[in-house]
Structure 1
Amino acid sequence: MTAESANNAGFGQLKRSFGVLQLTMISVGATLGTGILVILGDAVPVAGPAIWIAFVLAGVTALLSAVSYAEMAGMVPVSGSSYSYSYATMGEGVAWICGWCLILEYAVSAAAVAVGAGQYVNQTLEIFGLDLPASLASGPVDGGVINLPALLTVVAATLLLARGARESAVANTVMVMVKIAILVFFSVVAFTAFDAGNFAPLLPMGAAGVSAAASMVFFSFIGFDAASTAGEEAKNPQRDMPRSIIISMVLVTTVYVLVAVAAIGARNWQWFEGAQAALVMIVSEVTGQPWVVLIFALASVIAIVSVVLTTLYGQTRILMTMGRDGLVPKAFAKVSTKTHTPVVGTLIVGTAVAITASLIPLGELAEATSIGTLFAFALVGVAVIFLRRTQPDAPRTFKVPFYPLTPLLGIAACLFLMFNLGSNTWIVFGIWMAVGFIVYLGYGRKNSRLGALAKETYRETLKTK
């Protein structure tokens, strides 16, 4: 459903206010900082000093998918990301599967990142000899009652997002600048303690360790497609969305590799075992200045809030599009005439994410997010191939280079990383997809626009007989 038809249907229309800078900042905001700030301590022991190679491998996989996203974003410039692309090419059923996976990508990753913010708050307090009560520092799985910092992070992002897209974009741009600054600052600090000996042996866990770590750190690249959820709010979506996706991927991958090399150079890879908020700990040990650590930790929390903000943004826009198509309740599709945002959908999503973040630990959320995202990315590659075959002469503002090799490699890389994830992740994914299948048959298929059209056609047929 286009923006205009959505408005005519009574859902309300979003306001076009984003240029290429804002779109790029949305993608960078949803991506940059997540893995480096949150899960580095989990990934380094798996890959060893070759963690930077794992980031390169994950980045190349994401880039292969990014160019497919760029082509589809230029052809189908609407909100909804890969859900909309699948809908336009492969139909409602496949689109539902993709949309259900995107809930894993956006909503669950927002919860996972918020848990990471909680870790940074706790680590900062410990440096100053303080700590949160155990009951407020983590959820029931980790022996606490509720992760209060994670809860407050999601609430703050939700309230900001509900105020308006333009206000959120301005705040996000500022926060992205802050996170780039602190990651560059960290690299400078870490390189003052650089020891080339920390890179030997490069592959203590072998190539299998690098592959497994790449599957883990792929979580770090989740969100680069966030610009593709802003099609209805972009001033010139056909031109600017492809550009913003490619620019954000190149920038994010470069920064990740730089920080990973700096971190390993500063500390032996075995030091990272069990380290939470590893970058804060390195800054603390290298500088020995509590005030520097405090500023860095606070800036890190701000950086993480920007990820939560933009991933929540993406999720609400995807659900808004699915609501317009009737696959989820129409409450998600209603746009406020005052703020020009889906306020009700934003509050519903924010509440669900806040509850999840406050109760479930990071590791379980991160891997579940990765598998859903990889599946959705693979579907975008399929969509590119499908449209090239069925609509070869359709106008395209961006074309995937080296077609069909690039989308095929993107699909293969996504499947490769999926199969490197643990069995528990696959079990969770299987359960998630089974629940999605039940929801689709029980609600989506009965209430969808296509279903309504089919029923109307059937009634008209009966009348003529």
Structure 2
Amino acid sequence: MNPEPSKYRRDMGTLGVLFIVVNGLIGAGIFGLPEALHVAVGSFAPWLLLIGGVLVMAIVVCFAELTRLTDRSGGPQRYAADAFGAYPGFVVGWTFYAARLISQGANVLVLVAYAAALWPVVGEGAAKVALIITVLGGITVVNVIGIKRVVAVLGAMTLFKLLPLLILMVVGISAAASPGPLVLPQFSAVEGIALAALYAFVGFENATIPAGETRDPQRSMPRALLLGLALVTLIYFGLQWAYSHSVIAGTGPEAPLTALAGEYGGDIGALLIAATIVMSVLANLTAGHTSASRMPSAMADDGLLPGWFGRVSRWGTPANSIVFYGVGAILFSLWDDFLALAAVSTLARLLAYVSSILALPRLRRQAGLPAFNTSIVLAAPVALVLSLWAATQTNAFHWQTLLGFAVVGSLLYFLAWRGRSQGVG
């Protein structure tokens, strides 16, 4: 498929996409997961994460194939729209966007909670509100003035958050007790914790959305997706191995990696990991904003939302769409009573996964390629089964909330359609 001209500046390369993948995957979850995994499956926990990464790789392979077929922004919304039509693509894009917006508000509250542990004054009142506005407002400004600057910021954040984790992993593995024979857990134990392990690997799809601001996305995005998931899987495996073979494992610490760092580095080690958690969540917020804020502009480019969302700033970015996302995230975070809705974000992702995978054969035929190749034949069945299984682990409230988002979005869609049919700009 021939590259299409973009009205946005293509300032992001493979490394920038890789930063979004890594930071989309590594948020706050891995910092609380090691103890729960160890309690559930014992010394098998590192291998469970490794298996989880391999299974999710099937989904990533499908997305890598999809990114080779378009250089336009939108990610899952683009794939569904190009394959199945404007309205199905809008539903996928809108529900994904709405859920990401709420998740962004929830995630900044996580950052505030961790920051308050280091500096209690920001945990409540006006200082808390000021911190939320400063964080989300700052991320918004950086995104408006250019994705090249976002990449530079994400690069620094990635270094500062991965380096302490890698040091802890190496020290922990070096000091770990002899692993002994591997004991396979009962299937019921694996099934009970598998979804939590799987959730640690969602977020890679964020990197596919800003394709219109990426240099040669059909080459850079597949590389970054595959490399990013492989790198994060190995980090997860190493951290879990270090934890499960330490004296801390099974003692019930609320912050397991902080406790592990304290075991080897004392108060300084624990403080360093606590600061790393804050940096990790901040980087996750930045990566999420960089990707999800481009979704309305992609839909506006297709005439699915008002053209206001697609207006380009003098820096070559969809400024209105970026600012709209930032303000919405601030409003949701100030609500401060909706954290249960964060699970809807995962359900919306699963919907995006399934629709994107189903779109792949049709998009390949549109591009003049065979509907299937070896990678798709091997990966797509695993990816679909995994996504559908994960979707069955949600509850009626999550589905009802997602349906509510779809209904609201549909009303906006048909209002926009009516305006287009009447020639209203």
Distance 1:401 1:268 in 2: 44
The answer (yes or no) to whether the contact 1:148–1:358 under 8 Å persists in 2 is no
Give the structure 1 partner of residue 165 of structure 2.
Answer: 183
- By how many angstroms is 1:159 displaced? 2.7
Give, in angstroms, the shift of residue 202 of structure 1. Answer: 5.9
Q: Cα 1:435–1:26, aligned 2, differ >3 Å: closer, same or farther? A: closer
The answer to whether structure 1 residue 410 and structure 2 residue 389 are counterparts is no
Cα 1:62–1:200 change in 2 (3 A) is closer
Output the amino acid matched with 2:292. Answer: Q
- Matched residue type, 1:436: A
Structure 2 residue 392 is the aligned partner of structure 1 residue 419: yes
Q: CA deviation at 1:111?
A: 3.2
Indicate the residue corresponding to 1:260 in structure 2: 240
CA deviation map 1:220-257 (0-9, x unaligned): 22321233112112221222221111111111111111
CA gap 1:25/1:385 in 2 versus in 1, 3 angstroms: same
Does the 8 A contact of 2:129 with 2:334 survive in 1? yes
Distance in 1 of aligned mates of 2:231 and 2:151 = 19
Q: 1:160 corresponds to which residue?
A: 142
Q: Of 198, 216, 232, which aligns to 1:218?
A: 198
- Return the offset for 1:149: 5.2
Cα deviation for residue 73 of structure 1 reads 0.8
Unaligned stretches of 5+ residues in structure 2: none
8 Å Cα contact 2:82/2:363 also seen in 1:
no
With normalisation by structure 1, the TM-score equals 0.79
Which residue matches 1:355? 331
Deviation at 1:154, TM superposition (A): 2.6
One of 306, 318, 321 as aligned partner of 1:342: 318
One of 386, 390, 393 as aligned partner of 2:368: 393
CA distance in 2 between partners of 1:321 and 1:436 (Å): 18
Query: SS at the partner of 1:232?
Result: helix
Q: For the Cα contact (< 8 Å) 1:66–1:245, is it kept in 2? A: yes
Q: Distance in 1 between matches of 2:14 and 2:392?
A: 35
Of the three residues 279, 297, 322, the one matched with 2:274 is 297
**Structure 1 range deviating more: 160-169 or 41-50:** 41-50
Among the aligned pairs, what percent are the same residue? 20
Q: CA deviation at 1:189?
A: 3.6
* 8 Å CA contact retained: 2:34, 2:243: no
Gap change, CA 1:294 and 1:268, over 3 Å in 2: closer
| CA shift in 2, pair 1:445/1:328, >3 Å | same
Query: Is the Cα contact below 8 Å between 1:38 and 1:116 reproduced in 2?
Result: no
Count of residues paired in the alignment: 422
Letter in 1 for 2:213: E
Partner of 2:347: 371
For residues 318 and 417 of structure 2, what CA distance do their matches in structure 1 show? 19
Aligned mate of 1:447, from 413, 416, 424: 416
Q: Would you say the 8 A contact 1:38–1:113 is kept in 2?
A: no
Change (3 A) 1:235 1:283: same
- Are the structure 2 counterparts of residues 21 and 392 from structure 1 closer, same or farther at C-alpha, using a change threshold of 3 Å? closer
**Alignment map for 1:96-135 (pairs within 5 Å):** 96-103=90-97, 106-125=100-119, 131-132=120-121, 135=124
**CA offset at residue 83 of structure 1?**
0.6
Residue 199 (structure 1) shift: 9.7
Which residue, 379, 401, 411 being the options, matches 1:431?
401
1:249 to 213, 220, 229: 229
CA distance in 2, matches of 1:18, 1:37: 29
Letter in 1 for 2:416: N
Give the Å deviation of 1:260: 1.8
Q: Whole-Å Cα distance in 1 between the matches of residues 20 and 123 of structure 2?
A: 34
- In structure 2, distance between residues paired with 1:253 and 1:103: 26
Task: Give the drift of 1:447.
Answer: 1.3
In structure 2, do the counterparts of structure 1 residues 151 and 412 end up closer, same or farther at CA, with 3 Å as the change threshold?
farther
Deviations 1:393-432 (A, max 9, x none): 3399xx86343342122111111122223x2xx4123222
- For 1:444, give the aligned amino acid: Y
The answer to whether the 8 Å contact 1:377/1:414 transfers is yes
Q: Over residues 50-107 of structure 1, what are the superposed CA-to-partner deviations in whole Å (9 max), with x where a residue is unaligned? A: 4434423432342111111111111122110011011100112221221133225633
Aligned to 1:65: 59
Question: Take 1:39 and 1:183, find their aligned partners in 2: how far apart are those partners?
Answer: 14
Choose which of 190, 194, 210 in structure 2 pairs with 1:230. 210
Change (3 A) 1:51 1:87: same
The AA in structure 1 aligned to 2:275 is L
Could you tell me how far apart the structure 2 residues matched to 1:24 and 1:134 are?
A: 32
TM-score (norm 2): 0.86
Shift of the alpha carbon at 1:114? 2.5
The residue type equivalent to 2:397 in the other structure is I
Contact 2:112–2:122 (CA under 8 A) maintained in structure 1: no
Aligned: 1:327 with 2:304: yes
* CA distance, structure 2, for counterparts of residue 97 and residue 372 of structure 1: 10
Amino acid at match of 2:402: W
- 1 CA distance for matches of 2:136 and 2:349? 21
The code of the aligned residue for 1:123 comes to: A
Q: Distance in 1 between matches of 2:181 and 2:158?
A: 30
* SS of the residue 2:212 aligns to: coil
- Output the aligned Cα RMSD: 3.3
Shift of 1:135: 3.6
Give 5+ residue unaligned stretches, structure 1. Answer: 8-12, 126-130, 138-144, 457-465
